[in-house]
Amino acid sequence: MEPREIKRGVYYVGAVDWDRRLFDSLIPLPDGTSYNSYLIKGKEKTALIDTVNPTMEQVLLNHLDELKLKKLDYLIANHAEQDHSGTIPRVLEKYPEARLVCTPRCKGMLIDLLLLPEDRFVTAEDRETISLGDRTLEFIHAPWVHWPETMFTYLKEDKILFSCDFFGSHLATSNLYVTDEAQVYEAAKRYYSEIMMPFRSNIQKNLEKIKDYAIDFICPSHGPVYDKPEFIIKAHRDWAFCEPKNIVVLPYVSMHGSTRKMVTYFVDALAQRGVTVKQFDLTVTDLGKLAMSLVDAATIVVATPTVHAGPHPAAAYAVSLANMVRANVKFASVIGSYGWGGKTVEQLVAMVPNLKVEFLPTVIVKGYPRQPDFEALDNLAETIAQKHREQGFK
Ligand code: FEO
C-alpha cells in the first residue's frame, strides 16, 4: 500500500503484515498485524516516528522514497522492541544526518539490542519538546507500557498522540482508520490482555497522565489509526480501572472424560446461580482468547486430570499464562480427577505467585465423579456466586 496522509504533512509509512500468525513465538495473531511508522514533514525539519519489523524494512524505505524524503532530521524511537526499532540501523544508514531521539533508558536498550553507536542519540526528558519549524513534538515518558523505556510523542499543533504499543491492536487491515469499532475493540482487548495487563497500575498512571491532552488522533504502532479516539480511551479505562465482573474462566483439559464430566456439571451449576462461565478446552483453544477473558473475570477455576503426580501440562501452561499476564481475578480453585494420587493442586498453587487471589475449596475426584462429587461442585458454585455477590461483581 501507498503512504497515506493523516493530516497535511503527516503520513502513515508503516507496513501491514497480513500473514504473520505468531508474535514473540508465543502470542497468536489470528488477524495478522501491522508495524506503524509515521513521517512528519515540518517547515524546517522532518521526523520519522518508529520504524518497522526488520522483515518489512523495504516497505518502509520504499515509502520514504515515494515521499521523496532526501533528508531526515530526527528518528524518534518511542520503544526499543525490535518490531518497531529493528529497522533503525537501516534508516540511520540511509539518512546519515538523522539524530535518534528516545528516553535515556531506551538509549541503553537500543545500544544493547541493536549495537547502535552512541553518537547518533539525543535523549529526551519527560515533556521535553523539539521544533520542526511550524510544528512541535512533545515527548511524554510512559514507562511500562509495556517496557520500562517507553514514551509517547505528541504532535501539539495537530493534536496527534503517537502512542506506540499503547492503544494498539494486532490487526492487519487495508483501512488507515478504524472503520469497525467492534472488530477493533476485540483486537485491542486481546492485545491489552497479552501485552499491557501485567502492568495495570502503570497503565492507570499513564491514562491519567494523558487525560488533559487534547487528542484528535491516536496513532498506535499496531493496527489502524483512531480518528475518533474516545472509544479506545474509554475501553482502556474500563479494562484498567474497573472491578472484575461476575464471570468464571474455566480452562480445562480431560484425558478419559472424568474431568470433562465435572466441567459440564460445574458449568451448569454456575449458570443456574447466575454466574457467567467462559469455558476453554486447552487442547484446541486460542490462548489469546483465554488471556482476553481474564481481563474481566472475577474467578478462575482450572480443571485438570492428574498426570504423573501433577497437573496435565496443558493446564500448567494455561496457569502459567494467567500468572504471567497478572490476571485481575480475585478467586481461584482447581477441580479434576486422579487415578492413584499426586500433588496437582499444590503444584498449580505454587505456579501463581503473581495472582492476588483467595483460594476456594477444590474438588478433586478419584476416578469417575459420583453423587458426593457433584454435591461438592454445587457447593463450590454456590461459594463462588456468593463471593461475587458480596463483592458487588456484576
Ligand atoms: Fe510492538 Fe512492544 O512492541
Pairing label, strands 217-220, 160-164 = parallel
Q: What is the pLDDT of residue 258?
A: 98
- Ligand 1 atom nearest to CA at 165: 1
Tens digit of pLDDT for each residue in 68-90? 999 999 999 999 999 999 999 99
The beta strands (E) that lie in 67-216 are given as: 74-76, 99-102, 121-123, 129-131, 136-141, 151-155, 160-164
Mean pLDDT (whole number) for 317-331: 96
- Ligand 1 atom nearest to CA at 82: 3
Mean pLDDT (whole number) for 273-281: 98
- pTM across the whole model: 0.95
Mean pLDDT (whole number) for 230-242: 96
Tens digit of pLDDT for each residue in 20-47? 999 988 899 999 999 999 999 999 999 9
pLDDT over threshold 80, residue 320: yes
Identify the band that residue 2 occupies on the pLDDT scale cut at 50, 70 and 90.
confident
- Establish whether residue 50 lines the binding site of ligand 1, counting it when its CB lies within 6 angstroms of any ligand atom: no
Residue nearest to atom 3 of ligand 1 (CA): 81
Residues in a beta bridge with 65:
none
pLDDT over threshold 80, residue 377: yes
pLDDT over threshold 90, residue 1: no
- What single-letter amino acid sits at 213? Y
pLDDT over threshold 90, residue 236: yes
- Establish whether residue 222 lines the binding site of ligand 1, counting it when its CB lies within 6 angstroms of any ligand atom: yes
Q: What is the pLDDT of residue 25?
A: 87
Residue percentage of the chain with pLDDT more than 90: 98
Identify the band that residue 225 occupies on the pLDDT scale cut at 50, 70 and 90.
very high
Measured in Å, residue 147 CA sits from the centre of ligand 1 at 9
Pairing label, strands 363-366, 331-338 = parallel
- Establish whether residue 165 lines the binding site of ligand 1, counting it when its CB lies within 6 angstroms of any ligand atom: yes
Mean pLDDT, the chain, as a whole number? 97
Mean pLDDT (whole number) for 274-303: 97
Mean pLDDT (whole number) for 320-347: 96
- Establish whether residue 81 lines the binding site of ligand 1, counting it when its CB lies within 6 angstroms of any ligand atom: yes
Mean pLDDT (whole number) for 104-120: 97
Measured in Å, residue 34 CA sits from the centre of ligand 1 at 11
Identify the band that residue 188 occupies on the pLDDT scale cut at 50, 70 and 90.
very high
Q: How far is CA 186 from CA 190, 224, 289, in A?
A: 6, 13, 10
